[in-house]
A and B are shown apart, each in its own frame.
Chain A
Amino acid sequence: MDTALILHFLTLPLVFLIWTTFLKTFILLNVVLGVVSVTVFAERKVSAFIQDRTGPNRVGIPMTLIGGKKDIPLWGLGQMIADPVKLLTKENFVPAGVNKFFFWLAPKLVLLPPLLVLAVLPFGSSLFGVEMTIANVNVGVLFIFAVTSLSVYGITIAGWASNSKFPFIGGIRSSSQMISYELSLGLSIIPIFMVCGTLNINEIVDWQIKNGWLVAPYWPHGFSLDQLLHPKDLLHSLVAGFSGERVLLWIPMMVSFVIFLVSIFAETNRLPFDLPEAEQELVGGYHTEYSSMNFASFFLGEYAAMFAGSGAIVSIFLGGWSLPIIPDGSHGWVWGLVNIGTWFAKVSVILLFMIWIRWTLPRFRYDQLMKLGWLGFFPIALFNIFLTAIILAVVHH
């Protein structure tokens, strides 16, 4: 076979779709799992800084292992590799009396959903004409809800299969926490559908590029790079961007944003809602009985869920991969890379925010959490839907 024939085969529409999808999946998966490792390191560093400590600062390049005089500490960056290596080489201890099948199944069930969520998130515009979304599906947001709520099964099964009281309590807590949050999570997103008129995340991002980020009360109309050279056009677009509808809609959008953000914290079991884990009360909660790579799967799952949750927040509320002025990938592959970088930068900011919150707030008491979910966010989210509907109806008539 000559190269021309292979090239022709690879550019057949279906074949092209298949291999690019595989390539995107492979790269994104590796990048995200790498980012998880960095996030764990960032978590340790930021928590240390917040508590006036130094954090991990020793593990770097082990020169003494290969005959050097002194190790190179490298600000403790080696910790990112040392932690997984430690977890991988530990004994995978399975206690007596556990339900073996479910005990082994649970970590995989926790790890899988967040990685599936990544499939529908647009992490860039396009690169060489290939869309930077693994699956551009019309039910995008619904897919996220459907898949993320599955991770609660992993936690509950882990709690039950461990045959131990603390994991069991953790599992039970997780399921009831899920019930109280999933509702407001779903309801908080409905105003976005009403405004954007679509469930497809790519289209929501496109809407935001055209009309501005959903969390912004004001957005310059048709703002572009060329306008910077023509002050008159610039002024025109700045003035044209102001509209009463946008300012009015900003209120329900912010409410949605806050509810969605808080619900994502609950969804990913992060403090202040890490009741299933609650190491002070439940000795580590659902993963008390786990060790080695099984424990690492829970760990990976939690951080991957953080990443996926941040990705969802960024894509739905913060304009996805877009930045004002910066063109999309159709203007050249450099801009495509810039868009991807923008998305990862935005996600990193949300991740840092999550870490920051974790080391600021104490854990909610159990009844407080349920109360907040059922009596706080649920009615507010419902009311928010009607408010959006009224605003849209009033403005359009």
Chain B
Amino acid sequence: MAIVVNRPKLTFAEKCYLPSIFAGLAITWKHLKRALFNKGIVTMQYPEEKWDANLPEWYRGAPTLVVDENGREKCVSCQLCEFICPPRAITIKPMEIPENDKWRKVEKRPEEFDIDMARCIYCGLCEEVCPEEAIFLRKDYSITGLNRAEMVHDKKTLYKLGGVMKGLTFKWNELK
């Protein structure tokens, strides 16, 4: 069925544009005048002012690795994140934990863990797939580098960014 769109009957003032043009000019003039005295400006001067404190809890920034409260690397290098990563930004080189190590029971940990931030799309799949809850997307968003090599986060950087994550998995607790 055809829909009849009722065109509103315009008055002469509306038809000849002019009153609304003047109304518009008045509004923009008001804003111009206010901004001239540095009032009402809503933008933020980015590097000096940041919105970091207001980032939401679920914000997906740079992926990082975490250690637990005992200082143990949570990653067991199962490589699930490496396989699921859509842009293939993650490269893991696993290693066996030596016999005399405190965490021998865990058996494996990454020898190298690289995330190419030039490739990362911040999708958060690595965080979701991780069975050990070892990789988290933190709130860092300003990842810069002067070349491709600088954009690769190695294991050291990742742990530095990630820090300690308490609780959650007790799978490798000796007492359990």
A residues lining the B interface (CB < 8 Å): 46, 48-54, 356-357, 359-361
Q: In the complex, what residues of A have CB within 8 A of residue B42's CB?
A: 52-53
Q: Which of A51, A357, A361 contacts B31 (CB 8 A)?
A: A51
List 13 A–B pairs whose Cβ atoms lie within 8 Å, in order of A's numbering: A49-B35, A49-B36, A50-B28, A50-B31, A53-B43, A54-B43, A54-B45, A356-B28, A356-B32, A360-B24, A360-B25, A360-B28, A361-B21
Query: Which of chain A's residues has its CB closest to B45's CB?
Result: A54
CB <8 Å contact, A54 and B25: no
Contact with A along B17-45 (1 / 0, CB 8 A): 00001001101110110111000111101
Besides the known contacts A52-B34, A52-B40, 15 further A-B residue pairs in the complex with CB atoms under 8 A apart: A46-B32, A49-B31, A49-B36, A51-B31, A52-B35, A52-B41, A52-B42, A54-B35, A54-B41, A357-B25, A359-B28, A360-B21, A360-B24, A360-B25, A360-B28
CB <8 Å contact, B24 and A361: yes
Q: In the complex, what residues of A have CB within 8 A of residue B31's CB?
A: 49-52
Q: Given A53-B42, A53-B43, A54-B43, do A48 and B24 touch, yes or no (CB 8 Å)?
A: no
Query: Which of chain B's residues has its CB closest to A46's CB?
Result: B32
For the complex, what is the distance from the CA of A46 to the CA of B34, rounded to whole Å?
12
CB <8 Å contact, B29 and A356: yes
Smallest CB-CB A-B distances: 5 pairs: A49-B35, A360-B28, A360-B24, A50-B28, A49-B32
For the complex, what is the distance from the CA of A359 to the CA of B29, rounded to whole Å?
10
Q: In the complex, what residues of B have CB within 8 A of residue A46's CB?
A: 32
Minimum C-beta distance from A161 to chain B (A): 36
For the complex, what is the distance from the CA of A52 to the CA of B44, rounded to whole Å?
11
For the complex, what is the distance from the CA of A51 to the CA of B40, rounded to whole Å?
10
Q: In the complex, what residues of A have CB within 8 A of residue B40's CB?
A: 52
Minimum C-beta distance from B107 to chain A (A): 52
CB <8 Å contact, A356 and B25: yes
Q: In the complex, what residues of A have CB within 8 A of residue B29's CB?
A: 356
For the complex, what is the distance from the CA of A361 to the CA of B41, rounded to whole Å?
21
Interface hits, B35-63 → A, CB 8 Å: 35-36, 40-43, 45
Q: In the complex, what residues of B have CB within 8 A of residue A50's CB?
A: 28, 31-32, 35
Q: In the complex, what residues of A have CB within 8 A of residue B43's CB?
A: 52-54
Query: Which of chain B's residues has its CB closest to A376's CB?
Result: B16
Q: In the complex, what residues of B have CB within 8 A of residue A360's CB?
A: 21, 24-25, 27-28
Q: In the complex, what residues of B have CB within 8 A of residue A49's CB?
A: 31-32, 35-36
Query: Which of chain A's residues has its CB closest to B43's CB?
Result: A53
For the complex, what is the distance from the CA of A27 to the CA of B25, rounded to whole Å?
35
Task: Kindly name the residue among A46, A359, A360 whose own CB sees the greatest number of chain B CB atoms within 10 A.
Answer: A360
Minimum C-beta distance from A204 to chain B (A): 27
For the complex, what is the distance from the CA of A342 to the CA of B44, rounded to whole Å?
38
